[in-house]
A and B are shown apart, each in its own frame.
Chain A
Amino acid sequence: MSVPASWYLVLAAVLFGIGVYGFLTKRSVITMLMCVELMLNAVNLTFVTYARTLSDISGQTIVFFVMVVAAAEVTVGLGITVAVFRRRRTTSVDELTEMRG
């Protein structure tokens, strides 16, 4: 018998919370992207835990798709970061304030 599923769920919730805190406090776009990865991994962990608990392979399939979308998201996000850095010489979200109303 493996470790109870609730332990993994609590671990995933803690990981998600750390990701949320980092996303809300960091200034660099790249570090914020890494915090998004933390949150995505927390959700993946939850999916895999439920796939084991409920004996349903669909949970693992969803994780597969989440990984694909995460790869696409990082690719586009870093592309935008590079493009912004070329024009503005910064990746700090505090200095990119042109779009506020």
Chain B
Amino acid sequence: MLALTTTWPDLLVFITAAALIVVGALGVISLTNPVHSALSLIITLFGVALSFLEQSADFLAAVEIIVYAGAIVVLILFVIMYLGVDRHPHDEVEPLVGQRVFAALGALVTVGGIITLMAKSHWVTGVMSASMNGTSLSSGQGEITQLGQSVFTTYLVAFEVTAALLIIAVLGAVQLARRDRESEVEQ
């Protein structure tokens, strides 16, 4: 049934994206060296960007690569190498008895719950959004144009608030990471 509505290039793209995402995510949680985990995270991000492209979210795919893989992961890598925290991994010790089992159980329950909820609520034939004020994805306009119009009209307040949030986050990070001169003298 599914094979009739899906052409094989789409299927190939989906399989590639799914393989990238799952392999990268498993690498993040299974590799012991944090640097390898961060590099594995990049694989996942490329898979997500590929699936964004497949679903006609071109701008978000580019932002995913530039912001996530280009900025966030590089920031994480900088901190890992600056702190040098990979010398003594603590993942082997298990202070909470059966933590892994409970974590796996919790993750399975979460995934099963999400899938069950989505399957019960007609996930493929969802109704159109009630708040859709004329901005449809398939209206022939460019997707970036629509995204820009949506950001600067419907979500203008949220956009300004995120600008303030970014400024606050940068100032907070600078304040947190700055060396405190007086405490250095005390030491």
Contact = CB atoms under 8 A, between A and B. Distances in A.
Chain B at the A interface: SS class: helix
A67 B68 contact: yes
Contacts of A24: 99, 102-103, 106-107
Contacts of B80: 30
Interface in B44-67: 44-45, 48, 51-52, 54-57, 59-60, 63-64, 67
Chain A at the B interface: SS class: helix
Contacts of B136: 55-57
Nearest to B108: A17
A82 to B, nearest CB: 5
B41 A34 contact: yes
Nearest to A87: B183
Contact of A3 (B6, B75, B137, B147): B6
Given A2-B55, A71-B72, A18 B107 contact: yes
Nearest to A44: B48
Interface residues of A, number: 73
B55 A64 contact: no
Contact of B103 (A21, A28, A56, A58): A21
A16 B55 CA distance: 19
B83 A94 contact: no
Given A2-B6, A68-B162, A79-B176, A30 B76 contact: yes
Contact of B85 (A52, A69, A72, A85): A85
B62 to A, nearest CB: 11
A56 B132 contact: yes
Interface of A: 1-11, 13-22, 24-28, 30-31, 33-35, 37-38, 41, 44-45, 48-58, 60-61, 63-65, 67-76, 78-83, 85-86, 91-92, 94
